[in-house]
Structure 1
């Protein structure tokens, strides 16, 4: 119904409820046992900041009184990093340019890890590959497209709160992606090509770009944001403890 959480209400260092804006009017809702923030990777740090929990310099810019100083709020934003490239199969027989071979669509997707061991074991699942096929009738080629995805890239951004108005959306601030992630995307495509029996010289995009050029020109974020209110054990930088309690605030999770 258009209701927006403006901030967490606090008394004596504890969360007691929330202020809600609905149809231009402010309302207060009080909690019996505690307040659980479930506003997502972008909304949660915004609500914390507007409640006075965050980086003191950012709160000063917003004109919000500091209740709990924590520079980790909104930091460490992460997302899947992907790249999508079409490759041309050389020397395709024109007789193949029909039927299922030219039916556009996703043929399969697989998950695996880039770390050792590559198969089996307890290594993390940190990569995904999706394969698409299509035909280019004008140049008489069978093409295949590969979307390579890093599930846990090293690149990090932040959530930026532009104003103290609860109605204004938070902004994703993602600087240039880290070179190490571009290298891992390239490694992912090479390994997938090897599984198909293709060498590096075969992995030239349909625009004539090298694999390295294609990865860097076509990389994008997946819009599966996370990690902007980091959980961390005691003694390490973070927003919440291992029981999901917001640090230095009672009854706020």
Structure 2
């Protein structure tokens, strides 16, 4: 049996940041085990190339949810990164921390996780192109693009239309206020995606104390009594054992982490017994509380050219490819979400409960097995999307087999509460309100989805049940909290009832933040390193 000090299971957003912090002082041997392979792939590095990764099993776990009544019985596709950098290597690169009140809610029961503490950590992490101030960081390992150059010109009219609809301009969604419309900051540096692997893991891999093993799928945590002492993993068809002299940290994400805990005998007792797995620690919260943002796009045919006109024809692809390769510019060097925003569906709410996305292209006619960012519709199309920020619907992740290579059962329960349905109904009406404003409406030829015939509340609800789905932010399945009756880990990320075992990834969120989850996942990994180093003294 090989030995190391710390084992990190998963080289995703949190795992990469954790490996960077934990190996920094040179006193501890750290081993990262990643089921996927290298991130040195062209479509990973090219920002808009993530459309090619959406259905690629070489870099993607390719999960599917169970048929969901809230989505009219459809099975939602749930891509998760199976590659160095995890989902930060296949995502849309939007950098959103979340609302300060989200973290105050975290910190109310979990010391060290309130807004003041996480703001200090974010400012250590960031190297923001816009410069440092009381809100932004400068000089940290993760470069954040301000994303103000090379945007489609319709972004400006979208922002103006939002203002006409009552949603003012916001210069920085990560600043003093989240509400408003504007452009998203991006994890893009130069012409390349700035994933957690690029920003944290690859620099750390130059240290002699860090080892990274790819193609290593961990199958269970090794327990001796109530202490985690190592892991078992498969690599190249062979079984390996790795012992941890200090601790094991699970950073596999909101799907893989509860799956691995359950396979290791930590989870709902009845489920484990049904699967023939000896119960080491019974905790019904392992895999429970699954929370995710769900969203929908409304799409218009435009009177003026959009990215469809240049990215659809072969000559346009060739021209954009040459622009990208020669000069590092053009739409291939960016995410498709150029504009966005946050708004409240009711004025009595104390903070935004919906997120906006503006995309100067459309994909109503997708190719089979591909999210066609590089092959949009054969007409000038534009989409405005939105997703709920604080859904009340809850699902679960449960192993469906004792086979560690089998995918778990994922139940989202989208729109399973009246509150979520009511919020989304108000939200889609606001999308149409934006589109009706002069600065936007003057460029519109017709609404394509859902179409002007969809007007009644019943028809709008049926439409978003039929067409919406996850925006890929699963969280909270090993949630943090002081009470084992309602959580899986404590504020120091220690698994209740098990010594030497911690969780640091999106599964550990006490509740889902308002916005994209890459930033808070990196935050958890960063703070996990800080906590582990303090506890090792």
Q: TM-score under structure 1 normalisation?
A: 0.79
Report if aligned partners of 1:182, 1:215 keep a CA contact under 8 Å in 2.
no
Matched, 1:145 2:383: yes
Provide the C-alpha distance between the structure 1 equivalents of 2:300 and 2:435, rounded to a whole number of angstroms. Answer: 13
Report if aligned partners of 2:267, 2:281 keep a CA contact under 8 Å in 1.
yes
Provide the C-alpha distance between the structure 2 equivalents of 1:125 and 1:56, rounded to a whole number of angstroms. Answer: 36
1:102 counterpart residue number: 305
Secondary structure at the counterpart of residue 31 of structure 1? strand
Alignment of 1:103-252 (within 5 A): 103-104=306-307, 108-114=338-344, 123=351, 126-132=354-360, 144-175=382-413, 177-178=415-416, 179-197=418-436, 205-206=450-451, 208-210=453-455, 211-234=460-483, 237-252=486-501
Secondary structure at the counterpart of residue 228 of structure 1? coil
Q: Of Structure 1 and Structure 2, which has the larger fraction of its residues in helix?
A: 2
Structure 1 pair 102/51, CA: closer, same or farther in 2 (3 Å)?
Answer: same
Structure 1 pair 67/142, CA: closer, same or farther in 2 (3 Å)?
Answer: closer
Secondary structure at the counterpart of residue 249 of structure 2? coil
Provide the C-alpha distance between the structure 2 equivalents of 1:66 and 1:45, rounded to a whole number of angstroms. Answer: 14
Report if aligned partners of 2:291, 2:393 keep a CA contact under 8 Å in 1.
yes
| Deviation of the 1:16 alpha carbon | 0.7
| Deviation of the 1:31 alpha carbon | 0.5
Provide the C-alpha distance between the structure 2 equivalents of 1:232 and 1:185, rounded to a whole number of angstroms. Answer: 29
Report if aligned partners of 2:294, 2:414 keep a CA contact under 8 Å in 1.
no
Q: Of Structure 1 and Structure 2, which has the larger fraction of its residues in strand?
A: 1
Deviations 1:40-60 (A, max 9, x none): 111101110111100011001
Report if aligned partners of 2:395, 2:412 keep a CA contact under 8 Å in 1.
yes
Structure 1 range deviating more: 219-228 or 177-186: 177-186
Report if aligned partners of 1:85, 1:214 keep a CA contact under 8 Å in 2.
no
Q: In the comparison of the two structures, how many residue pairs are matched?
A: 232
| Deviation of the 1:110 alpha carbon | 2.0
| Deviation of the 1:184 alpha carbon | 1.4
Q: TM-score under structure 2 normalisation?
A: 0.39
1:93 counterpart residue number: none
Given the alignment, which residue of 242, 257, 263 partners 1:44?
257
Give the gaps of 5 or more residues in structure 2.
1-213, 309-335, 363-378, 438-445, 503-537
Structure 1 pair 27/151, CA: closer, same or farther in 2 (3 Å)?
Answer: same
